[in-house]
Amino acid sequence: MISRFFRHLRDGASSLKRNSAMSISASSTVAITLFLVAIFIILGVSVQQVTQSVQYRLVIHVKIDNAVTTMTTINDIGKQIEAIDGVRSITFSSKEAELQKFIDENSFYERYKNDNPLNNAYLVTTNSGDILEEVSQQIRLIPGVISTEYGGAGVATLVDALNMIQRVGMVLVLGLSILAVFLISNTIKVTITARRDEIALMRQVGATNGFIRAPFLVEGVLIGALGAIIPILVSVFGYYYIYTESGGHLFAKMFELEPVMPFVLILAGILLGFGMIVGLTGSFISTTKYLRWKR
């Protein structure tokens, strides 16, 4: 069994070398496809990080009626807010702390220290930006709450746009995957056609379809692996360069990139595995169709 495996490996490598022109063409196709896939993976992960950063920083500002004066009642309001599905955390901010925020931005507000017109408040974060409006509406129903603010529809639109980018990226990656399989399949088909006399001879001496198919499968896997080398190098070193030059942030400090390690190792593994699977799938489709047709 082991000797047969190494024989198929040797035959596949030999075929790769013998048909070097077609192999280089197929590997180039895989390389281009995987390079685009790598871009979409990096963009997808970055967009996901940005989306999470936005969502985790979205805060619902809950104003409490000034008629509520006892901390017992204020704490009860906080407990009711915490009990709402989707609420991740709440932080109490006294009316003095609220005024201090304005004073820190502009000393003009110092004049209101002795007659503070602001309200006690809770700062509420949710598990997802998609539920901001729903949670905000439920909070407004709590007695003692006079208003809630979270940035309006613009924030929800931003979150929706980022999620849409992720979905479009996934569709494009899927489309590229199908294209790569098709191109590899056609390349292996050309290789099979060029070796049809050799295949016919193997059948005459009693070789099974599995035995005939194996070297082509190995060849497809090798083509996929070779095609993955350049995209892996470009992606790994490119991402490392972008991460170090940007300080680990995308556009602004609130948008954090995925740390280089172990992300680049995972990315390299995905691209290598993806290339090999694409090569294996393409060669399997071609050989299966040919062997069935020539049965």
Q: What is the pLDDT of residue 203?
A: 72
Do residues 93 and 234 both lie within one domain? Answer: no
Do residues 215 and 127 both lie within one domain? Answer: no
**Domain-embedded: residue 202:** yes
Q: Which of 279, 276, 245, 234 is nearest to 35 (CA)?
A: 234
Characterise 123 by phi-psi region: left (phi > 0), alpha (psi -120 to 50), beta (else).
Answer: beta
> What is the tens place of the pLDDT at every residue in 22-63?
667 677 777 877 887 787 777 777 766 666 666 556 788 899
Do residues 251 and 185 both lie within one domain? Answer: yes
How does DSSP assign 14-64, residue by residue?
A: HHHHHTHHHHHHHHHHHHHHHHHHHHHHHHHHHHHHHHHHHHHH-EEEEEE
Q: Which long-range contacts (CB under 8 A, 24 or more apart) does 2-8 make?
A: 8/214, 8/215, 8/217, 8/218
Average pLDDT score, the chain = 77
Number of domains in the chain: 2
Give phi and psi for 63, each to the nearest 5: -95, 135
Do residues 170 and 48 both lie within one domain? Answer: yes
> What is the tens place of the pLDDT at every residue in 142-179?
999 998 887 655 556 666 776 677 677 778 777 777 77
User: Does a cis peptide bond (omega within 30 degrees of 0) precede residue 259?
Assistant: no
**Domain-embedded: residue 156:** no
**In angstroms, what CA-CA distances link 259 with 39, 68, 82, 246?**
16, 46, 32, 12
Give phi and psi for 60, each to the nearest 5: -90, 120
Q: 147: helix, coil or strand?
A: strand
Quickly state the pLDDT bin for 77 (edges 50, 70, 90): very high
Strand segments, DSSP code E, in the chain are 59-64, 87-93, 121-126, 145-149, 249-250, 252-256
> What is the tens place of the pLDDT at every residue in 228-274?
888 889 888 888 888 888 777 665 555 667 788 888 898 888 888 88
Which DSSP category does 107 fall into? Answer: G
Q: Is the pLDDT of residue 20 over 70?
A: no
**Poorest-pLDDT segment among 93-107, 197-211, 270-284:** 197-211
Do residues 124 and 71 both lie within one domain? Answer: yes
Q: What is the pLDDT of residue 97?
A: 87
Q: Is the pLDDT of residue 181 over 80?
A: no
Quickly state the pLDDT bin for 1 (edges 50, 70, 90): low
Q: Quick one: the chain helix, strand, coil %, rounded to 5? A: 75, 10, 15
CA–CA dist 265, 162 (Å, integer): 25
Do residues 37 and 173 both lie within one domain? Answer: yes
Do residues 174 and 283 both lie within one domain? Answer: yes
Do residues 175 and 39 both lie within one domain? Answer: yes
Choice between 291 and 147, residue whose per-residue pLDDT is larger: 147
Tokens describing residue 188: 């292996």
Tokens describing residue 164: 């849409």
Do residues 124 and 197 both lie within one domain? Answer: no
Choice between 287 and 134, residue whose per-residue pLDDT is larger: 134
pTM for this prediction = 0.58
Domain that holds residue 67: 59-150
How does DSSP assign 80-99, residue by residue?
A: HHHTSTTEEEEEEE-HHHHH
